[in-house]
Structure formats: structure tokens, C-alpha cells
Structure 1
Amino acid sequence: MQKSVLITGCSSGIGLESALELKRQGFHVLAGCRKPDDVERMNNMGFTGVLIDLDSPESVDRAADEVIALTDNCLYGIFNNAGFGMYGRYYFLHMFMR
């Protein structure tokens, strides 16, 4: 049976590169993305796209149910890569985050 892994933040960067490598190694990659267009793109690349917005508990619940169904409740690993970054001087960023 093929091992399944879920990668969040899979639409670009480290998440996408990790997905490509794990797919090359024979894993079934569930590619978690926040945007429907990215989910479709992941499906077209041979991954199993999963719509998930980690800011929304409802979205996380739906995605968890989908992952359980897709993997027959047998997930080998999770790479929680989703996030965002902000650049600038600490003083200004600190004020922005209030």
C-alpha cells in the first residue's frame, strides 16, 4: 500500500518542492492549498489537492474528513508548512500586528 503524506502550504516554495520530491520517492501526496485554483493545479500535477484554510476551523474540519476518507484513516505523515511572512523593521511590524 502506498504511504500518504499531507503537506499544507503546498502551492509554492518549500511545500511544492517537498511534494515533488515525495512524489518522486513514491508517496501519495495530499497537497493542502488555501485557494481552489491551487488545488486544481495540484491535481493537474498528479497530487491529490485538498482545500484547507488553516485560519478557518470549519475548513480544517472538512479537510480532515477528506484526508481520512482519501487515506482510509492511514496517514503516514504531515508536513505543516503553511504560513506567511512579514519583512521589515521590528518596531514597525510590532505596531502593525497590534
Structure 2
Amino acid sequence: MKKLDIYICITALFFLLAMSLSAYLAAIEDPRFDGGAITNEEMHWYESLIVLGALIGSFTTWLIALSSAYSHRFRKWFLAIFILLPLAWVYLYFHSREGSSH
């Protein structure tokens, strides 16, 4: 398994954990989640770690996918990734599997 594949899996996991955490807190009607969002002061240390991992991982994945699509002159992929973040994981997954042949 390539380093990029491992990175994609880890960042996607953090992203899904953060989304699952938000859904879970909304489902159990946690009083900290009354306003629809939790501030950093209200989070436990592990919740802050999950959110930080999701933010950093998502942003860097987005930048890597944008630079890869731009350098390989896939303008449609570049525009789609720029508009819709989750496509960055899809693009990098297929790009790392097939090389640069799209």
C-alpha cells in the first residue's frame, strides 16, 4: 500500500469520525449541542483531536488533489474538487490506483 493510500484512509477516517460525532451528539440531544455547534471550550480533549484531525486532513487532501489535477491538466476534475471537497478523496483514490491515466 502506498503512503498516499494510507494518508487518504486516515484523513477520510477522521472526516467520517467528526461527522459521526456530530450526528451522535445531535441524536442523543447532548446539552452542549443545543445551538447546533460546540465551541472548543465545550469539547472533550478527544473530540477536539478528532475535529482537528478532520480539519487538517481535509484541507491538505483538498490541496493535494487540486495540485495533482492541475498538474495533470484535468480541468474538469480541478473545478469539481474545488467546489466539492469529498471528490478530493475519490480523485486521489483513483489517481493513486491508475496512475495518471484518466
TM-score by length of 2: 0.28
Q: Give 1 or 2: higher strand fraction.
A: 1
Q: Give 1 or 2: higher helix fraction.
A: 2
Larger radius of gyration: 2
TM-score by length of 1: 0.29
